[in-house]
Amino acid sequence: MANESNVIRAEYREFFLLHNCNDGSDFAMIELEFPIDETHICLPHLHNTTGLREKPTFWSYGWGSDPQKNLVVHPILQNLDVGPPLTRAYCKKLYSNLPDDVICAMEYNNKDMCSPHLVLG
Total-model pTM: 0.39
* Domain range summary for the chain, segments of one domain joined by +: 1-36, 48-120
Q: Give the single-character DSSP code of 107.
A: P
CB environment 98-119: b (16+ within 10 A), e (fewer)? beeebbbbebeeeeebbeeebb
CB atoms within 10 A of CB 78: 12
Confidence (pLDDT) at 12 = 61
The tens place of each residue's pLDDT in the chain, 121 residues long, gives 556 777 777 766 554 555 555 555 555 666 778 877 665 554 444 445 444 455 566 777 776 666 666 766 677 777 777 777 788 888 888 888 877 777 777 766 566 554 434 444 4
Please list the alpha-helical segments (H only) found in the chain: 14-19, 88-94
